[in-house]
Amino acid sequence: MSFKLPKLPYSYKDFEPYIDRKTMDIHYNKHHATYTNNLNKEISNTSMKNLSIIEILKRAHIESPAIRNNGGGFYNHNLFWDILVPHTKYTHPSREFNEVFQKNFDSFDLFKDNFYKVSVNHFGSGWIWLCVTEEKLKICSTMNQDNPIMHGMGCEGTPILGLDIWEHAYYLQYQNRRLDYISSFWKIVNWIKVEENYKKERNK
């Protein structure tokens, strides 16, 4: 199996003023493309070459660090692009999905507050996740390109939303103002897609 860089359903400029087009271009064509190419190279002569990305991630802890890092980078960015929407097409959680947030966090606003706090308190590069577990929704973070699908993260579950807080995701525009980038993220989340991810996982 050879993994491919996904085609984006929008242009690089569609997220301005929240993410500038140059950052989107570099993030996608340089960083994500490199993870994709390196993942294919690292698994080419291993027992993992015919596995799905989920199966690879579940075994990443017993393989090489390169497979773990590049497999995570490939999967994490796929999810990130998938849950973004141009701000001119911004969506709100449906009434049904709002009830899910109320059940898990008391309200949608409190969910955002908790997600923001986890993001702010995460030191260094990594990702912030909203995950589906057997019991409930859960917010957590991982370092580098790790994600909750990998073994032993202390952050179990299936991600349905992820925020990239590596500097390459925001530094050209925001420099050291990562908090502003985190706040801007809410302007471009595709809640229709996040809800689809939630329902898909719940219906398994």
Annotated binding site for Mn(2+): 27, 77, 164, 168
Using CA atoms, how far apart are residues 23 and 35, in angstroms rounded to an integer?
17
d(CA 203, CA 199): 6
Question: Of 131, 22, 156, 19, which Cα lies nearest the Cα of 79?
Answer: 131
Task: List CB contacts of 134: < 8 A, sequence separation 6 or more.
Answer: none
Q: How many C-alpha atoms does 26 have within 13 Å on its Cβ side?
A: 13
Q: To 5 degrees, how large is the angle CA 68–CA 71–CA 73?
A: 105
Binding-site positions? 27, 77, 164, 168
